[in-house]
Structure 1
């Protein structure tokens, strides 16, 4: 059963609000609208890229009926705290997961992530967390007033290393969902994040190439004066 169907089955519809993340694709916000309700965006935890329970609590209003937590990049949301908010506020709490992988594939991705964690310089590696499956390995390339993340990505690709921007436009900036809401962590993550390969099929030589390529570009990350 999809998110829209689950909301409707729980009686969520016209006149109701549902708290969702803006960091990600528009799928969840669209599901809320399909159910007849209004999506309300809350900020993320910068470590997990999932809804921050404190921000969710602050976003609850008299019409809030539910929240939808989305697990992001293989890192699960803090469901214990989100369930606590839901219980205390009388909200329906739904989860949207990610595609599953085999145990062997997850363990290989974790090994590749650990390899990068210990060798990358000049980028902020992802924070480790219980249950992280590294569906995507997301680093941060701080801005310093310049589009350093984008320049870094172009330079990495020019060296033959695959990378991509995971979220180009947060949902609350999209014309169909635009809201006047302050989401500083969402905005910062959209401007700084970049995914690097950790696929189970990568060889040790390919992993070493990722490290050497990224580390050679560290000068792009120096502050602009």
Structure 2
């Protein structure tokens, strides 16, 4: 899409650093320069104000990536693009059948109501919970990685959704301030909400997480 739009050498394209490197790679393959902007801490997608701050006379496009089943604020980003004459492209996530999404939402609601000591995700804008991503506050006590190890030891599968933001990778290393991206990379943990999970599985997840809640400062 970038090449079809005539974007190439000398152009800049604003992209998120929170996620995998494929978008930044696509920009470089088109001959343009990826410019990283910070994310909104609620949606984990590009923040409009951060994108605007990253715009220069060479900016030609913005690539918006929807994350974890939560949609970016496309209305605001498209309005920004129109104001600056930028192409706004989307990278979506694969869509699941309605029944599967409904079951994931049911399991997410179960966790929302019962988890303690972690910050649960915001469910706005039709969240499909491709990943149920919580934040584990450190506050000088057990951090996200220690929390994840303890939960796995209790038989609960969990994963760090973004281990290294793209702007930290050697091939894309930039001296850029992305505080929300850095914080999200350090604090986020994806818990299972698969449609195949039983009620007992869900109880195990809650029990494993809440058993550690007393070791953590209360989530804000």
TM-score interval for Structure 1 and Structure 2 normalised by the shorter chain = over 0.9
User: How does the TM-score come out when normalised to structure 1?
Assistant: 0.95
Give, in whole Å, the separation in 1 of the partners of 2:215 and 2:32.
44
Q: After superposition, give the CA deviation of every residue in 1:13-40 in whole Å (9 maximum; x if it has no partner).
A: 0000000000000000000000000000
Q: CA RMSD in A?
A: 1.0
* Structure 1 counterpart of 2:104: 109
Are 1:81 and 2:82 an aligned pair?
no
Q: Tell me, yes or no, if the aligned pair for 1:139 and 1:194 is still in contact at 8 Å.
A: yes
Q: After superposition, give the CA deviation of every residue in 1:74-110 in whole Å (9 maximum; x if it has no partner).
A: 0010000000000000000000001110000000000
* Structure 2 counterpart of 1:3: none
Shift of 1:220: 3.0
Are 1:124 and 2:134 an aligned pair?
no
Structure 2 gap ranges (5+) = none
Are 1:208 and 2:203 an aligned pair?
yes
Matches within 5 A, 1:186-225: 186-222=181-217
SS at match of 1:118: helix
* Structure 2 counterpart of 1:63: 58
* Structure 2 counterpart of 1:90: 85
* Structure 2 counterpart of 1:99: 94
Are 1:162 and 2:157 an aligned pair?
yes
Shift of 1:146: 5.3
* Structure 1 counterpart of 2:30: 35
Runs of 4+ that moved beyond 4 A = none
SS at match of 2:159: coil
Q: Tell me, yes or no, if the aligned pair for 1:16 and 1:63 is still in contact at 8 Å.
A: yes
User: How does the TM-score come out when normalised to structure 2?
Assistant: 0.97
Q: Tell me, yes or no, if the aligned pair for 2:18 and 2:166 is still in contact at 8 Å.
A: yes
Give, in whole Å, the separation in 2 of the partners of 1:147 and 1:15.
46
Shift of 1:205: 0.8
* Structure 1 counterpart of 2:130: 135
SS at match of 2:203: helix
Shift of 1:221: 1.3
Q: Tell me, yes or no, if the aligned pair for 2:142 and 2:215 is still in contact at 8 Å.
A: no
Give, in whole Å, the separation in 2 of the partners of 1:98 and 1:220.
35
Structure 1 gap ranges (5+) = 1-5
Q: Tell me, yes or no, if the aligned pair for 1:148 and 1:220 is still in contact at 8 Å.
A: no
Q: After superposition, give the CA deviation of every residue in 1:103-135 in whole Å (9 maximum; x if it has no partner).
A: 000000000000000000000000121211000
SS at match of 1:8: coil
